[in-house]
Amino acid sequence: MNIQGLCAVLTDDREAALIVSEVNRRYFTGFPASDGYLVVTRNDAVFFTDSRYIEAAGLAVKDCRTALLRRLGDEVAGYLKEQGITRVRTERARLTVDELAALKRALPDCRVTACKRLEKAINDLREVKSDAEVKAIVKAQRIAEAALDHVLGNVIKPGVTEREIGLALDYYMLSHGAEALSFETIAVTGKKTSMPHGVPGSLKVKAGDFITMDFGAVWHGYHSDMTRTVAVGKVSREQRKVYETVLAAQTAAREACRPGIAGREMDAAARKVIEDAGYGAYFGHGLGHGVGVEIHELPGAGPRSEAKLRAGNVVTDEPGIYLPGKFGVRIEDMLLVTDGGCRCLTKAPRELIVL
Ligand SMILES: [Mn+2]
């Protein structure tokens, strides 16, 4: 179905789209392979892959034919010639200069161009999720939430290190259905919670500390992303105020999130709450980003995200306040933009948990 969306870029029967990058091949074929080429013409689509993958691809790939690849210059060039193709449009953003040169060398009978229109068409398709894609993201998210429940109930207590918390999240996700981690898990405590992307180390949790965990699972190629900040023992008045401000900012962005508003307007809704509370200088990053076959994809939801949101977009809503040398708070959910507004894909509670 998505492969057909690429045909709109092809102006006549002598043109082909060539998908080379691992992530876009996976998106269009549903099949993970470190190597291969998807060739789409107006009448046909073939996924060329080598002997390591050909049997599995033949069983798994539904939307196009599969063919054995030995050398790009043989099978793919031969196919293009047979189809009367003279022009090949390929990706731009994920192709190195070397790779483009190699494509041109291997396909000397075609005019090969790194095509802006193709790149945009791919992004347009990827940004709007089908029901099946949303289901995969939700499944990944449920695995991550179960991991959070596990560490809240069994792992986080005074004396445990950041690294132990991070590893417990990772082990739980990977042993409960995740095919991979969405990214390297962030688990930081104490003063390190003021570092938005701090690396888990040997620092130990103590009473009165915040613990920020930012993590996600991959399921059937689709990522999830969530952040929760919890406390142990007790919290100060300032900690509570910062937490409540971040929570209110996150809610404001969620309420603003609907089709037709620009990502930057969603960011602005959250940012205003944080600025009004006097913490504007301590929210340095953008509010959110798209999530799908990549952990960070379009559409963006930061101060410079001009693109308007559309129904089917999945974007994160993750404001934070980071007070250097003291502590930080971030809360992150994933929102699905719907016809009338948005639906939060994250089920975990957002209210401050003090363990
Ligand atoms: Mn995120």
Q: Which of 101, 127, 153 lies at the terminal end of a domain, its last residue? A: 127
C-alpha 295 to ligand 1 mean position (Å): 7
What per-residue confidence (pLDDT) applies to 2?
84
Query: How many whole angstroms from 318 Cα to the centroid of ligand 1?
Result: 7
Cα of 228 vs centre of ligand 1, distance in Å, is 11
pLDDT (0 to 100) of residue 251: 98
Where is the domain boundary, 62, 94, 127? 127
pLDDT for residue 225:
98
Where in the sequence is the domain holding 175, given as residue range(s)? 131-344
Q: What pLDDT score was predicted for residue 52?
A: 96
| Res 1: pLDDT | 53
CA of 342 to the centre of ligand 1 (A): 17
pTM for this prediction? 0.95
Residue 48 lies in a domain: yes
In a domain, 349, yes or no: no
Half-sphere exposure of residue 343: CA atoms within 13 angstroms, side-chain side:
9
CA of 222 to the centre of ligand 1 (A): 14
- Ligand 1 centre from 66 Cα, in Å? 35
Separation of 129 CA from ligand 1 center, angstroms?
18
Per-residue b or e along 249-258, where b marks 16 or more CB atoms closer than 10 Å to that residue's CB: bbbbbbebbb
We report the CATH number of the domain holding residue 9 as 3.40.350.10
Within the chain, which residues score under 70 in pLDDT? 1
Task: Report CA torsion sign: 49, 63, 339, 220.
Answer: negative
Residues 183 and 221 placed together within one structural domain of the fold: yes
Place of tokens 């509570």: 240
Exposed, middle or buried, 344 (CB in 10 Å: 0-12/13-18/19+)? middle
Residues 339 and 285 in one domain: yes
What spacing in Å lies between the alpha carbon of 209 and ligand 1's midpoint?
22
The last residue of a domain, from among 95, 127, 159? 127
Domains identified in the chain, total number: 2
Regarding whether 121 and 59 lie in a shared domain, the answer is: yes
Please give the distance, rounded to the nearest whole angstrom, from the Cα atom of residue 78 to the centre of ligand 1.
43
Task: Give residue 94 CA to ligand 1 midpoint distance, Å.
Answer: 21
